[in-house]
């Protein structure tokens, strides 16, 4: 099954990156889009509209929006298609660390919420506790 072009591109750029680094990349794409918007606004104000600037702006905007939507869709589909494993909590485990370990493809905060819902817990976990942890189907 062929993955979406934007997901492949984003994955190649963010390979082995933390979620914070991935978010930084997404923010930089948004910042680039806003910069292009500022350039377009200046050009319109000076009434020296050139087609190349307009096309460049549209391309950057479409690319960054498509990339962001593709990532959100991928994560949504992944979260709907997970399978759960039974895990016994060890000393030092946190919901966040378990989320990053067993479902690193997703936003760990969303995975933590899924763990909480599935196990009917608030935010504390204890050593020896049994939890159902989502993991990607193979």
99 class by beta-carbon count within 10 Å (0-12 exposed, 13-18 middle, 19+ buried): buried
Q: What is the mean pLDDT of residues 59-84?
A: 80
Angle, CA of 122, 127 and 131, to the nearest 5°: 55
The mean pLDDT of 56-76, rounded to a whole number, is 80
- The residue with greater pLDDT, 50 or 34, is 34
Least confident stretch, 4-13, 57-66, 81-90, 106-115 = 4-13
For residue 23, pLDDT beyond 70: yes
Per-residue confidence (pLDDT) for residue 5, from 0 to 100: 58
**87-101 confidence digits (pLDDT tens):** 999 999 999 999 999
């Amino acid at each position: 099954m062929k993955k979406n072009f934007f997901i492949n591109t984003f994955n190649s750029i963010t390979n082995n990156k933390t979620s914070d680094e991935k978010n930084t990349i997404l923010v930089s794409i948004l910042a680039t889009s806003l910069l292009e918007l500022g350039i377009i606004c200046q050009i319109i104000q000076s009434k020296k509209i050139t087609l190349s600037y307009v096309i460049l702006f549209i391309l950057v905007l479409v690319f960054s929006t498509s990339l962001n939507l593709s990532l959100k869709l991928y994560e949504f589909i992944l979260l709907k298609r997970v399978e759960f494993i039974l895990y016994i909590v060890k000393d030092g485990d946190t919901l966040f660390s378990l989320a990053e370990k067993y479902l690193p493809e997703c936003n760990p905060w969303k995975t933590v919420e899924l763990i909480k819902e599935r196990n009917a817990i608030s935010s504390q976990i204890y050593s020896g506790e049994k939890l159902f942890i989502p993991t990607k189907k193979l």
